[in-house]
Amino acid sequence: MANRSKSPAGKVSATTEFWHRIIITEAATLAELLTAFLFELDATGVEEHNADLIAYFPSRFSLPKLETQLNQRLELFKRELNLDLPLTVFCQRVAQENWQLNWMLHFKPIAIGERFLVTPSWEKVTPAPNQIVLTIDPEQAFGTGHHATTAMMLTALLQYWRPGQRVLDVGTGSGILAIAAARLGSDKIIAFDLDPVAVITAAQNAQRNDVAKQIQFYVGELSVLSPQKCSADLILANLSTGVLRSLLPRLRLYLRGLSSVVILSGILAEEREKLNAWLTDLRFTILAAKEQEEWLCLICTTAI
């Protein structure tokens, strides 16, 4: 979901010749819990095939470490939930071209709300009147609109976006949220991610959508950006709960004023009370909450 250098995206070059593909068999009963855990481990993509879960990780990850973490979590789930399931973890190496072919076969155009139509560049689409086309080739980055967290972020963006807002996209992934804000009319957008490959992909997608001049892309941590120079009226953060918890205290520093809005997702619905408590402690006010497929999206502002 969200995906270590401090240079602009245009100066970063990164490739991977293969991917780790991890298959967890007979995982349907724990699909939601395991999917959330896989994304916390920074899986680039997770898909369900029959009763199995299939996750992809870049080659830089330690395969033995991933396998150990998964087996430990599976045993924990089975003990806590008193489950007797034949869960097995298989690990494979997948060539880069096979990964690309896989997402090209599965990524089809999708309408999100009444305004957005997300499509890969190789598909021809005919938008409805007033529909905004977002041309996104995610490649190795997260964000096609097919996952509930991204879809909720886009619908919330439609509701809370206002002309003239400065936008900060935290963990930009494929760049889909920053590009959507630009297509709505924002011309002052900053987007960043830890993964240089994701930022390269996001910058390329911005060019595909003719909004490259409206978005500044960076590789690195939030601390790379100065709160004084990069404050925003609208902050977008589709990240795991653990990452959100670590970032929320600092995100306050990047809000321009009391009317600024933060849209958060990547949160399992069962973690709502935990997030509510953290946000209250940090003097955020929750304006609205959306829920889809066991995932939660929260729209917040600073305490009123």
Do 179 and 90 share a structural domain? Answer: no
Please name the amino acid found at residue 103.
W
106 band by pLDDT with thresholds 50, 70 and 90: low
The verdict on residue 280 lying in a domain is: yes
231 and 272 share a domain? yes
Q: How much is the mean pLDDT over the chain?
A: 82
Last residue of a domain, one of 67, 82, 103: 103
Mean pLDDT of 152-161: 95
Report pLDDT digits (tens) over 113-136: 889 999 888 888 888 898 999 998
231 shares a domain with 136: yes
> Which of 7-21, 199-213, 283-297 has the lowest average pLDDT?
7-21
Q: Locate 292 and state its tokens.
A: 């889809």
Residue 80 is part of a domain; what is its CATH number?
A: 3.30.70.980
Q: Which residues contact 283 (CB under 8 A, 6 or more apart)?
A: 252, 302, 303
Rounded mean pLDDT, 241-247: 85
Does one domain contain both 242 and 140?
yes
Looking at the structure, tell me whether residues 52 and 177 fall in a common domain.
no
> In the chain, how many domains are there?
2
Q: Does 151 lie in the same domain as 46?
A: no
Domain-located, residue 263 = yes
> Is residue 89 included in any domain, yes or no?
yes
DSSP-derived letter for residue 43 is -
- Tell me the pLDDT tens digit for each residue of 262-292: 999 988 888 888 889 999 999 999 999 999 8
Q: Are residues 227 and 272 in the same domain?
A: yes
Separation of alpha carbons 166 and 277, rounded Å = 28
Same domain (yes/no): 278, 148: yes
Same domain for 98 and 133, yes or no, is no
Parallel, antiparallel, or unpaired for β 261-268 and 116-119? unpaired
User: Of 48, 71, 103, which one is at a domain's C-terminal end?
Assistant: 103
State the number of CA atoms in the 13 A half-sphere of 127 facing the CB: 15
**Domain boundary, last residue among 70, 88, 103:** 103
- Of residues 217 and 145, more confidence is placed in 217
Q: Provide the pLDDT for residue 11.
A: 27
Q: Where are the alpha helices (DSSP H) in the chain?
A: 31-40, 63-81, 96-106, 148-160, 176-184, 196-208, 241-251, 272-281
Tell me, yes or no, whether 121 and 145 share the same domain. yes
Q: Band of the pLDDT at 29, cuts 50, 70, 90?
A: confident
Residues 207 and 260 in one domain: yes
Q: Give yes or no for residue 207 having a pLDDT over 90.
A: yes
- Domain span including residue 73: 9-103
Asked whether residue 4 is assigned to any structural domain, the reply reads no
Q: How far is CA 65 from the centre of its chain?
A: 23
Could you tell me the CATH number of the domain that includes residue 152? 3.40.50.150
Over 60: is that where the pLDDT of 21 sits? yes
Residues 6+ apart with CB under 8 A from 183: 132, 134, 209, 211
Name the residue with higher pLDDT: 177 or 267.
177
Token digits of residue 158: 């439609």
Residue 58 and residue 79 in one domain: yes
